Structure 1
Amino acid sequence: MNRKIYLLVLLLWAYGSGCIAQVVAPNAQLQLVADGFGFTEGPAADAEGNVFFTDQPNDRIWKYSTDGKLSIFMEPAGRANGMYFDKEGNLIACADQHYELWRISMDKQVEKLVVSYSDSLFNGPNDVWVSPSGSIYFTDPYYQRDYWDRTEPDMPTQALYRYQNGQVDRLDDQFKKPNGIVGTPDGKMLYVADIGDSKIYRYRIHSDGSLTDKEFFAPQGSDGMTIDERGNIYLTGKGVDVYNPNGEKIEHIDVPANWTANVCFGGHNRDVLFITASDKVFILNMQVKGVD
């Protein structure tokens, strides 16, 4: 076999098998954007690539603009946790203060989308993803908060839900503690983390928004999640771990913080990884791009 052809075949094999994991830009270094927050969470990028994230203990939503400026977008903010932008440019937020899901316009008008299920208050919507069709999928684990009056949940179930056309449906309640969630940009696949059982699951999304074909994807839980243009899934906890679409771990990104809570792609070209980690936020230049 011609040596050049052999090397090309070897390269393609290595890439397909996950041996080549180059998602971080060559020579890129993790950059600290800011620290001194209470606990950072929920990063979400708007259509221009500006990243919005939360400081939950201090009840604020911050904005990190594409020109590198940091400013407070909203305060108070319902103790917002996980967030995601819908196609109309509204911020969908898991408003943890009263266990609700909010839609926040860019002029800071709030619409409460869901407040209860079957006459029971939610545990506390935690993370959220909006499909291209507009269906909103969110996880509802129970984490006791020091700003709550209650000390136990209204419902024993920790589950995955969908909000669609004014109605909320429970889709799956077979979790120990569901948390991070993300879907593919074509709206056909959904990934959900069971952080309480150290597992990631993948579902098939149908045209009516329902889910089928639940399957085990990876042996790791995750707080927040994102996806890149290659279909790689980014998991958080102790740093950031990257899995290819076959469920193979291809890269680990160290983050100097006690806990890495969440991650998203931002910037003009969607090639900057934005990382919320305990009291800090970081950015990292990538050679892959995120997806809308």
Structure 2
Amino acid sequence: MNYKLIVFALCTFALVGKSQGQIVDKKNLIEKNAQLEKIETGFAFTEGPAVSRLGDVYFTDQPNDKIIKWSFFTGKTEVFMENAGRSNGMFFDKEGNLIACADLDNQLWSIDDKGNKTVLIESYKGKKLNGPNDLFITPSGDMYITDPLYKRDYWTRDPESQQDGEHLYFLSANRLQFMPVDENLVRPNGIVGTPDGKNLYVSDPGANKIYKYDIIEDGYLSNREIYLERGSDGMTIDFRGNIYVTGEDGVKIYNKKSEEIGHIPIPEKWTANVTFAGPDRKTLFITASESVYKIRMKVYGTY
């Protein structure tokens, strides 16, 4: 997400506004008596939470060009990587590498546990991408990457699009096939898939929609349908198939029928992203503006 535009648009948004209020839990998803806890604050803009095998969360402080690690066991944060390519969305692959949407040079990186990076994608048809924003990795290792155009003041290149639109891309598990799989999006952003690898959800804030797809053979998508008439920054999913969406109203939860069944207000101007953390994947970890939060759940997620 374009953090500067968000701050600009919401600079007058009072913290007593939409992001305040009582937690709503219509389907008993949240642990009894659980409270929203602020883990740490003082960041510039937090994004891209990705959960490791052990349940720790790696997230970005994009304006400060850092990836931060939060330890589930100690509850503390530490800098994992500086000069992190202005990384935004991230996801761990099956080998334990952190895959990052490195917005500085419009690339997709693979980062090992020592912080060494490998560039996986740097262009399409000889031209730079707009700026990879978020990604999802299927159980088979295939990737889906959103590529909106949010013009950055730190780019040294022409900030206009070099692609013919803002698309959703597919990268095969063997890294040999990279192609757009939906070229009819306005500004794709958040993305998440079902743990069985059969369905994909993609947020298009430019169209104020979240779409649902069937994932079919060779990474292609079919049966696109509108899941929600709203956009979202980041998203996650629990084992029941409920979708957790983010934005200026904190975290809202929708079931498979697109019915709103929960709301976790966050006392920040913008809630950017969310994931399930901990060894049991029952801690909801939330990145929101200058802070990160957590709350214990009854349901668990896979990521």
TM-score, length of structure 1 as denominator length: 0.91
- Residue 244 of structure 1 is matched in structure 2 by 255
Aligned residue type for 1:96: D
For 1:147-226, list aligned pairs within 5 A.
Answer: 147-149=154-156, 150-164=158-172, 165=174, 166-226=176-236
State the shift of 1:20 in Å: 3.5
1:86 to 85, 93, 103: 93
Distance across 1 between alignment mates of 2:32 and 2:58: 26
- Residue 272 of structure 1 is matched in structure 2 by 283
Aligned residue type for 2:184: Q
Distance across 2 between alignment mates of 1:89 and 1:219: 35
- Residue 4 of structure 1 is matched in structure 2 by none
Q: Does 1:230 align with 2:240?
A: yes
- Residue 138 of structure 1 is matched in structure 2 by 145
- Residue 58 of structure 2 is matched in structure 1 by 52
Distance across 2 between alignment mates of 1:275 and 1:92: 19
3-state SS in 1 of match to 2:189: strand
Aligned residue type for 1:132: P
* Structure 2 gaps, min length 5: 1-24
- Residue 8 of structure 1 is matched in structure 2 by none
State the shift of 1:156 in Å: 3.7
- Residue 9 of structure 2 is matched in structure 1 by none
CA RMSD of the aligned region, Å? Answer: 1.2
3-state SS in 2 of match to 1:116: coil
- Residue 117 of structure 1 is matched in structure 2 by 124
- Residue 12 of structure 1 is matched in structure 2 by none
Aligned length: 274
Give percent identity, aligned residues only: 52
Aligned residue type for 1:160: L
Aligned residue type for 2:100: A
1:225-268: CA deviation from partner (whole Å, max 9, x where unpaired): 10001110000102011111111111111001110000000012
3-state SS in 1 of match to 2:63: helix
3-state SS in 2 of match to 1:204: strand
For 1:37-76, list aligned pairs within 5 A.
Answer: 37-67=43-73, 68-76=75-83
- Residue 39 of structure 2 is matched in structure 1 by 33
State the shift of 1:120 in Å: 1.6
Distance across 2 between alignment mates of 1:52 and 1:20: 30
Distance across 1 between alignment mates of 2:111 and 2:159: 28
Distance across 2 between alignment mates of 1:229 and 1:35: 30
State the shift of 1:21 in Å: 2.4
Q: Does 1:290 align with 2:301?
A: yes
Aligned residue type for 1:22: N
3-state SS in 2 of match to 1:208: helix
Q: Does 1:257 align with 2:268?
A: yes
TM-score, length of structure 2 as denominator length: 0.88
Question: Which shows bigger deviation, 134-143 or 243-252?
Answer: 243-252
Question: Which shows bigger deviation, 96-105 or 24-33?
Answer: 24-33
Aligned residue type for 1:100: Q
Distance across 2 between alignment mates of 1:247 and 1:33: 30
Aligned residue type for 1:105: D
Aligned residue type for 1:52: Y
Larger Rg: 1
Distance across 2 between alignment mates of 1:138 and 1:248: 26
3-state SS in 1 of match to 2:299: coil
Cα distance change, pair 156–210 in 1 and its aligned pair in 2 (3 A): closer
Aligned residue type for 1:142: L
State the shift of 1:96 in Å: 0.4
Distance across 1 between alignment mates of 2:69 and 2:49: 9
Distance across 1 between alignment mates of 2:290 and 2:206: 23
Question: Which shows bigger deviation, 176-185 or 104-113?
Answer: 104-113
- Residue 104 of structure 2 is matched in structure 1 by 97
Aligned residue type for 1:115: E
Distance across 2 between alignment mates of 1:193 and 1:69: 31
Aligned residue type for 1:113: L
3-state SS in 1 of match to 2:272: strand
